[in-house]
Structure 1
Amino acid sequence: MKKLYSVTVYMIIAMMMLQMTTMTAQASPLHMDTNDSDTVYVYGEDEGNAIEIFEDASLQVALPAIEEGTEAKLVKIEDSHILLTYVDDTKEEISGYVHTDYIISELELQEFLEWRTEAESTPREYYLHKDRMIEEETSEAPEEAIEEETSEAPEEAIEEETSEAPEEAVEEETSEAPEEAVEEETSDTPEEVQEEDVTHENSESTKKEDELLRVAEEQTHHVFAGKQLTYVYTSPSQSASTFRSYSFGHSLKVREYNDSWYEATVRINGIWETGYIAHDDVEFERAAQLEGVAKQNRTAVYSDVSRNSTILRSYNEGQILKYRPYSSEWFSATVILNGTATQGFIHADDLRPVDEVPEQLEGYAKDRVSIYSQTSRTSTVLRNYDEGQMLKFRPYTENWYSAVVRINGEWKDGFIHKSDIVLLTDAQEERNVFAGKQPTNVYTSPSKSATTYRSYTFNHALKVRTLTSNWYQATVMINGKWETGYIAKSDVMDERSPQQQQIAQRNTAVYGEPSRNSEVLRSYNAGQVLTYRPFNSSWHSATVILNGRAVQGFIPAGDLIPTNAQETKHGVALQNVNVYTSTSRNSSVLRSYSTGSTLKFKTLNSEWYTATVRIDGEWKNGFIHRNDVTSLDGKTIVLDAGHGGTDGGARAGGMVEKDLNLSMALRTKPLLEAAGARVIMTRSTDVFVTLADRAKVANESGGDIFISIHNNAFDGRANGTETFYHTRHQSANSQRLAHAVQNAVVGQVNTNYRRVAEGNFHVVRETRIPSILLEVGFMDHAGDAAKLRQTVYHDRAARGILLGVGEYFR
C-alpha cells in the first residue's frame, strides 16, 4: 500500500512539475497565477493545526510553522519533501521544505476537503484512501486482513505523520496474530462490517468461540508505554531477560496477570510469545498533547532525558512545538529523521505553554525600537517607536517580548527584543532626592534628547518616584497644569551634599556658574574660612547673600584647602618677622618676632603661612610670609662637640676647648629641635670619641647635615670665626652650608669674619653627608677670649648656627 501511495503522490507531483516546465516560456514557476497547476495547498492531520516547514533540504533548521490551508507554489521535489514558496501575513515571500504528507494538489483539493469532513486526516491518508479504492477495483481482498504499513510517526510528533494502523497497534506482522496480541493484525474489513461473500453457520462451536473471544476481549486492557523504554520481559521479573521494548507513549494491549504485572503477546522471530509488562511501566491514558513556544534560541530536541545526549533537531526561538508530558523536567516529542519518526525529549525549561498568558509588562523604548513580525531581527519590521515611548508587552521567550500593534486598521502580533526595552520597576516608590547637576533638568520623556519641562539648581530638594534603573518620574506644574516629567538618576543625589568648611588659600571669587568666565558674585581674601557643599571634582557650591537674597554660587575647588589638610610647621625667624592680619605685607601687623625666634605656624599656600597669636588676651588668626621663616620639620642634623674626655683640645686663658664646644652644642640642640629638626649628638657629656666614630655616627644616622663645633688657639694675634669643608663628599652643598653658618654666627657673636676654606680634617673628609667644621673664636686672643668666657655668647653662637641652618634649608 505504501508503495502504491508513493507512486500516486509522485505521479501527481511529477505531472505538476512537467506542466511547470512546459510553461516556463510564459511565467516563472514561483510566480504563476493561482489557477495554474503548480498551485498546491498545505493541510495537517487536525483542523487548525500548523505544519512544519524547514529552511533547507537538510531539515535541521525549522522556519515559523505554516498555517493549514495555505496556498503555495510548488518549486521542486527532494526525496520525501517538497520545496515550495508562499506569501505570509506580512506579504513577505517565504521559501521552505514541507513533507509530502501535507501537500494536496489544486486539482484534488475539493475532493479532499469533502472526504476530510468524514475523517479528519492528512493529504497522505487521502491518497492512501484512493489507493485502496484502486486496489479494491483491481483485485479482491483475501478473507484474512490485508496488512498495512505502520511506520508512521505517533500522534504527538512535532512533524506529525499519520498511519492507517489502528491506534492500539504497536507494530503489525504479516501473519495472523491472536486477538490479545500487542501487535494487532489489521484488516481493510473492520469487524463490524458484514462481508457479503462470507457466510457463517450459527453452530454451537461458533457460539462457544464467540463467547471465549468476548471474555478475552473484556480481560484485555488498552494501555500506553509510560517509560522512555518500556520493556516486555520473558517472565514477571525485572531481572528477567527482555523480548523487546517500546518507546514512551506507544499504544499497547495487555491482560491482567497479577497485582504487579500484565501479560502481553509479542511476535519474536515469527513466533508468538507471551511476555510480561510491569504495572509501573505503563499508563492507562496517553499523556495529552500540548503546544508550547520555544523559549531558547536553538531549542533542542534531545535523544535522551539529558542535555548531554545527542541533539536530534533544533528549533528557532519562538516556534510553536507539539509535545506530551514525560516527567517534571522533560517533555516527549517526535521528530522526523531521514523519513523515520524518532522519539526525542525537550527540557521543560526550554518551552512555555501557548495557553499560558504571561503578565502584561510596561517599559520604555531604550533607543529607536522596532516591532518585528517574527522573533528575528531580520524579519519584517511592523512598526517603529522612538526612544522613551511607553510600550505594553508580554514575556514570550528568553530574548523576546510579544506585543500587538495596529497596522492599517488591523491588529497584528509582533515581537520586541528584550535588549531594546527599559522595564518599569514592579512597584513605584516615592523618594526625596537632591539636584546633583547645575542645572538638573526635568524632561518630557525618559530621554536626555527630549525637551525639558523645567530645571532646578544644584542641591535643590526634589520629590520623585522610582521608574527604571536609569530614570525617576516627577510631577511638575507647567502653566497651571500638573505634568509627569522624567529626571535622570545620574543627575540627582540621594542625600544633600554635606556642608563643609575650608580655607581660601588665595583671594577667592564666588561665581554665578561653575566657570571662571561667569559673573563674580562675591570675593574673599586668602585665609578666610568659607562654608560650602561639594558640587563636583572641580567646583564647590556656596550660598551668598546679595541684596538680602540667598543666591547660589560656585567656588573653584582648587582655591580652597581643608582645615584639616593644613600642615603644622615648626620654624625659625630668619629676620624680624611680622604676623599680618591678611595675606598682604601692606595689611596691619598683629605682632612681631625677632630674628632667630622659633615659631609654630600652618601651611596655607605657596607664599603664606597662617599663625595664631594672642592679642590682649584674645587669640587672633594671622599670616606670616614664607620668606620670613624657615621650617626644619623632617630634617635630621648631626651635632659634633669637638674633642672630649682625655682629649681636651686647645687650652688658653684658663679655658679648655672641649668644655666650650660641648656648651655651645648643648645650647644649639634645643633651638634646632624647636624649629622642627631631629638632632643627633656625637657626645652629650665629657667623653672621648674617636674621629672615626664621629664620622661613622654621621654616616649611619640618615642625617641631612653634619656640624662639628670647635674653638681655636694660635699665636695670640689670630682672631675671628672660620669654617672649613672638604670637597671629597657633597662638595657644593658643604660649601653652601659653610657660608650660611659662617655668616650667621659672625652676625650673632659679632666676631671677625676670618675665612671659609677647605680643610683636610678627618670628620669632614670622611663624612658622606654635607659637613662643616666651625671654629667660633680664638681662646688666646683677648677680644675673642672675653666673649668665650661668657655663656651669653655661647647662646648667640647657638642662635647663629640655627639661623645658618635655616638659611641653608630655605
Structure 2
Amino acid sequence: MLKKSLIYSVCCSAMLSPLFANASHSFAATHEQATVTANTLNLRSNPSTKSSILGKLHKNNKIEIKNEKNGWSQIIYQNKQGWVSSTYIKKEKVKSTGATLAQKTISYAVVIANKLNLRTSSSTNSKVITSLVKNTKVTVLSVKGSWSQVRTPSNQVGWVANTYLTESKSASKPVDSSPQLPATSKPSTSNIGIVNTSGLNVRTLPSTNGKVIASLSKNTTVSTLAVNGNWTQIKMSNNQTGWVASRYLITSPTAQVPFSSSVLKGKTLVIDAGHGGKDPGTSANGMSEKDIALDVTKSLVKRLEASGAKVIMTREGNTYPTLEDRVDIANQHDADIFVSVHVNSGPPSAAGTESYYDSSKNPQSAEGKMLATEIQKQINTLLGTANRGVRDKGFYVIKYTEMPSVLVELGFVTNSEDAKKLSSQRNLFAQAIYNGIIAYYNKQ
C-alpha cells in the first residue's frame, strides 16, 4: 500500500517546532510504488535467496517500496513486510511535494486499516485509549519517528502508527464518516459472517437509531470488521460498510476470508458438478445429488469469477458429461486446479464431509492434498459438519487430471442434519469451497 507523506507545519504554534523538525527527515523522502512482473515472486525475511520465505506475491500485485539493497527491495504488501528481488518488479515513483514539514500546514489523515489502536504514547507497549475504524478522518498534531499524534473526531488525542494512515486531501474539519469504536470494543474474531435471518437491517451506526442503508437476506455472506457491544461492523459485497445486530450473524474464528482474493486473477479453474442428466447420483429426503452439486457449483463459480478467475464448468445444466469428458475439459484447458462437487449417502447415522485427492496417478497429488485440506477445513467450520477427513483415493476425475485436483463430498443426503444443510445452505457450501481455494493459493 502506498502511503503519501503526512505534512505538517509550525505555523499553528511555535511550541510544535521541535517535533516537526524531528519529523521532517523521516517524511520528506520519495515513496515508490511498484508492480510485480513475475508470475510468482517470493517474499523473504532478508535480502538473500538463503533467507526464509514469508509468502508469495503474484503478477500485477501492487507493492510499496521502503528500501533497496544490492538488487533487493524491501516492500510492504497488505501489511506484510519483507524483501523481494528488484529484477521482478517495475517501479513507479510518486514524489512528495519536496518541501520540508516546516513549510507545510498541519494535515488531516484517513485511517486505512480495518482497526487502528489509538494509544497514550508512541509505543505498542502503551495503553489503548480507543480503536479507530477504517476511513475515520483525524487531525495530525505531530510526528515522532513512525508514530503520529492525532486528534479524533470526538476530540480524543493519542498516538497511532503512521503505517496505517494516508494523507487526506480535504482541508475541512474531519468528519466522523465511519463510527469510532469505544475503548470497550474489540476487533471481530472472525473475518466472515453469514446472515441467519431474513431481512437483516444494515445501519450507519451500532444502534437502532442508525439509518438503515441496506437489508440482507438469509445466508448472505459478509466480511466482519469490528464488534461494538451487541453490534458487528460488516462490509457487504458492494464494499459498503455498516452495522448489524451480532445475534443475526453466524461467525467462526477459524473460518476467515483468506487475506487476498487477488491471487485468483489470471487463474484457470475447472469446476465439476458431479453426475447430471441420466445419472442423478444418490437421492434422499426429496433431493438428488446432481441438483445439489449444480446449485453449489453455480454459486461457487460466481464467487470465483468475481475474484478475477477464468472458470470452466464441466456442465452448466442437467446434462451428463462422461468421466472422460470431465478429465479432458480440465487437461485441455490446462487448468490450474480441478474441483469436483458431490454429496454422499449411507446409513442414517453416517454424517459429515470428506475431501479426496489422488496420489496413484495425479502428478500434483501433494498440491491436491493441500487444496483438499483447506476446502475440508472451511466446510467443517462454516457449516458445522462432522470432519470425516482428507482421504487419498483414485476417483477417476481426480486420478487422471494433470493439476491439483479435489473431489469433495459435502455431506450425507441420507442423514437428517446434513440433509437440512444441503437443502437450505447451498450458498454457504459454495462460500466454504471458495474460501478453501483462496486459502490454498495464499499458502503457496
TM-score of Structure 1 vs Structure 2, range by shorter chain: 0.3 to 0.5
Q: Which has the higher contact order (CA 8 A, sep 6+)?
A: 2
